[in-house]
Chains A and B, each alone.
Chain A
């Protein structure tokens, strides 16, 4: 998987219902029970963003609340993009 897809940061996102997160010293493991895919979240901050996505009106807002600076935002946009591509996160308004 390459981080090619970008997410719309102004859209609201949530974790897929079939995904479980496990904290690890480097960040977290995310496992999708449907696709049996494992993703590595390589920072605790990204874990915070993903965990709290659903509580925010946009991904940008979730990043800001987790303390992601403006200069770091493009990296997080790419990371969320690859999580979306892997089906780990979905737009909140998607059925």
Chain B
């Protein structure tokens, strides 16, 4: 009834709500974490207590649970991000609320009283994984999942706030963890049989004021486990048989058994729809010469899919085709191709779309047609006709005749590809650059001085990048190049007039706030041929590894590709993560072809070992120098005598 009224008219509804259901403002107190917490923005409605979001005790409860609240006065939505993290969303006047991807029905709809939104007290606590009863706010263990990866398994426990259990016992047949101050309503037992875990037992003990939950994991013989890890919102332990190290680094994707029993609304959401977008699969892309000196790009597609293609004339000379509703089988592809092509890129650009992009050597005629096996793009040697379409659409699959030509011409959608006059866009950026000093390469050792970059173990990025950069410098000088370093010591790069101006424009009192522009200024003012920035990657956990070449502008692409190929084939033992386009500052603001090489991950143990080795850094430096040579040989500067 309340919900119905509230949806008719907000002013009337709130008036009715306040006039009829709120008895009086009051306070309520609970024991929580061995102290007393008193809520003062409390209203008693016919359907239960409401708490105002500006209540200091409510804010302090959120903080102690590692949750944050986003709401501005006047907003109709109140958002709480839990430590899990899940987002709890309440809407004023709507009794439905959501936790992650689950929705639930509150006892009554949140309402506004002045500028403060009042939430149904029991529901918001439940969503936070806290149970109010008998004068005690009890934190709950809300879920225990086991994800199996063959002979290995990862147990993940989640609850209100950060869980830091004690190890009660750790024997060959069982491990017992105690969660002090945490209660639970989870089912007491479940059989698992994955990764050496036989059973998981969950038992409550302790008192109402001082609850405790015991988690007992019964193990098969010869099962080992990692030390537990407590993340921001979860507690996890990896188990494995076979005597091998458990798989906390890069677990496999398959989930053999996720075993939630009674998890309530604050349980983790089901696996999101990460991939199943379309019904079609792009199985591969091949390039074959045609009889008349052109090239034919054959995109093998099975299933039904629509496609849309676009081409950009000179000076961009780019073509791309998006296969909609399609999944890419195998990994992304980046490869150089013979005339009239330059390069081919294949990517899953979003969960529903596979993009095949071509760099073209010139403004040549091309034809896009569906074929029996997919789509073919045929590039001729003749120049494109003035009135030839710039884009088109079509379909592949059983519903379409294999010979049906595509005819529809659509304009380039500005949202999807950026405004046509946008210089920052991949497709529309400057295509040419003529160095005033074709023999000069600028090498940029990342970070330095006050900026240490990423640090891990005994290694500091600022030190490693300078070391590798100096090795590259030595090699390039020996090969007849000129080299300018953005820094030669472990100092900050000095501010330049341009970088200072940018810092002032953005209101910074410190000119060093624009340290990256200063690096670009060194290369831009010297008219260097190439700008190569050397870095080491890092992440919040140890999983990601490998070498990545980042580029930003169209003129960076050939250098990035040549560098990535060279490093990948140099036998450095580091995974090739390919070329990644991004809006990185140093590559974006260097006038010349520029790349940023993240040589390896400091946070991955195997990569860390490589970065620790001076022999490996020397070989990486040689590969970088080889990549520069490879690019330069394939892309001579006009009229430079090369």
Are the chains A and B members of one assembly?
A: no
Residues in B lying within 8 Å of A, measured CB to CB? none
Q: A interface vs B, CB < 8 Å?
A: none
